Chains A and B, each alone.
Chain A
Amino acid sequence: GENVEQHPSTLSVQEGDSAVIKCTYSDSASNYFPWYKQELGKRPQLIIDIRSNVGEKKDQRIAVTLNKTAKHFSLHITETQPEDSAVYFCAAWITGGGNKLTFGTGTQLKVEL
């Protein structure tokens, strides 16, 4: 079936450094790629998303890039802060065989002081 691969599974950075999380997808018809942040014991919440007709989108310290040809997209967090520590999930909207959101396996980001 269609899947989304996410790397790395864990990421540790120093406060103020940048963090990059990468995802690849298999369905070439996918046209929407959201990123979710999940704090411990909480529900996932959308932090940024990108559509397939856009190559890059930025919102303050967070940016997402999309390479449709290579079928991969990335989350970039600059000037990381302790409150950025969480699990981050990428996802791709799959249209083949029904309309559904397929998630990556998650990245545990730890921002150390």
Chain B
Amino acid sequence: NAGVTQTPKFQVLKTGQSMTLQCAQDMNHEYMSWYRQDPGMGLRLIHYSVGAGITDQGEVPNGYNVSRSTTEDFPLRLLSAAPSQTSVYFCASSHTGVSYNEQFFGPGTRLTVL
């Protein structure tokens, strides 16, 4: 199993550009989520999904969209990139959306918005 994969690893955008960060998992996990990591602020939840067709907002959803059309994929869309969205983005998945399930993280995408 590849586990949780993310593409790209690095990305530089100009203010106002849009892009999609890809996330996929091959473990048949129901629960998937996106976090951003900024220095001194830990991991903050952007959006999450408890299954295909179901998404919900996390702590910092503004400026981001998600969809979950399949169990395997959970892309994160930046609609109009801003310098404040410069961050490292992690996708994670777990077996279900019930607690007690280990969250497996992808390798991350480092995004810089100029």
Interface residues of A (CB under 8 A from B): 1, 6, 9, 31-32, 34, 42-46, 49, 51, 89, 93, 95, 98-106
Number of interface residues of B (CB under 8 A): 25
**B105 and A105: CB pair below 8 A?**
no
**A51 and B100: CB pair below 8 A?**
yes
Q: Sample 18 A-B pairs with CB under 8 A, ordered by A number.
A: A1-B59, A6-B42, A31-B100, A32-B100, A44-B90, A46-B102, A89-B42, A89-B43, A95-B99, A98-B56, A99-B99, A100-B33, A100-B45, A100-B48, A101-B45, A102-B59, A103-B42, A103-B43
Residues from chain A with a CB closer than 8 A to the CB of B107 are 42-43
A47 CA to B64 CA in the complex, in Å? Answer: 30
Residues from chain A with a CB closer than 8 A to the CB of B48 are 98, 100
